[in-house]
Amino acid sequence: MIKIIDLFAGIGGIRKGFEIAFGSNNIECVLTSEIDKYAIETYKANYGEDNLYGNIKEIIEHDVPDHNILLAGFPCQPFSQAGLKKGFNDTRGTLFFDIERMLKAKKPEAFLLENVKQLRGHNKGNTLKVIIGHLEGIGYKVYVDVLAAKDFGCPQNRERIFIVGFLDHSVNFNFPVPINKSIKVGDILEDKVDPKYTISDKLWEGHKRRKEMHKNKGNGFGYSLFNENSPYTNTISARYYKDGSEILIEQKGKNPRKITPREAARLQGFDDNFIINKVSDVQAYKQFGNSVCVPVITAVAKQMKICLDKKVVKLNPEKSKKLAMVN
């Protein structure tokens, strides 16, 4: 049984990827930390209420149960193009150090951290260097790469940075390579969509006006239209609920429409069994915009599993030999 803790858990996208990679019966989440009350409702609906805590700053690190892997999609706003880019000068940026104190206290075998791609270049790369330096200072061998959702079966141009670490320095971890899978936006679209998702004449006119204004200024800002044959969409953001401008779906003879919450879930790789109706559409859009692409997490988790399995073979060769004979 692999024990995990799920920090800044959101709606549990990183946990979901690990359950798929390791098998849900082989994963036990011994602590979850999430502060947003609406995200907690969706999390509880899908995973139950066991070991669920709130603000990470109120969790005493030495009280955290022993675990094998620490998971954390720590807040990205300080490093995002859409944010103020204050980095560690932003209170949310310092939340990385809450991850650090957990790692120092409990020393799990491995960790996975996720953030926006912009973290790699923030402050000319110095912010990432500080993070890696702190992780290495605890004793971890650290690996970093940027992976895109569209390379792992989800029709979304979403790039995120992944930071993976192992206590065992003999581990030779490799990030997953893109899969060869044909994808299109039609793969995630629902057959029947409520007319309420069609944007109003006023909003559509506003979108077109702003698009033309940006065009005259020589930039490409403004709404983006997609159809079922588009290879992928833009990145869905937490602000999608406001006007849907980054992902609008063409409709014949009608104004474009926003994607539905279920389509947003599919765009992030959540299957249709994932419960999303415990909150409003506004909160659902926020949650999926803030979440992760599950197939990307699954691919990274599978590579981590290979390394952890090899470690078991190395430390327990006789036991592994017997298991191999049984299988």
Indicate the DSSP class of residue 57.
G
Catalytic (active-site) positions? 76
Sign of CA dihedral 19, 22, 28, 29: negative
The SS3 assignment for 310 reads helix
Whole-angstrom distance, CA of residue 108 vs CA of residue 322: 27
Whole-angstrom distance, CA of residue 164 vs CA of residue 135: 10
Q: With contact defined as beta carbons under 8 Å apart, do 160 and 293 qualify? A: yes
**Residue 84, CA distances (Å) to 48, 89, 242 in order:** 35, 10, 19
Whole-angstrom distance, CA of residue 5 vs CA of residue 103: 11
Instruction: Let me know how long the chain is.
Output: 327
Whole-angstrom distance, CA of residue 293 vs CA of residue 146: 13
The SS3 assignment for 300 reads helix
Buried b (16+ CB within 10 A) or exposed e, 268-284: bbbeeebebeebebebb
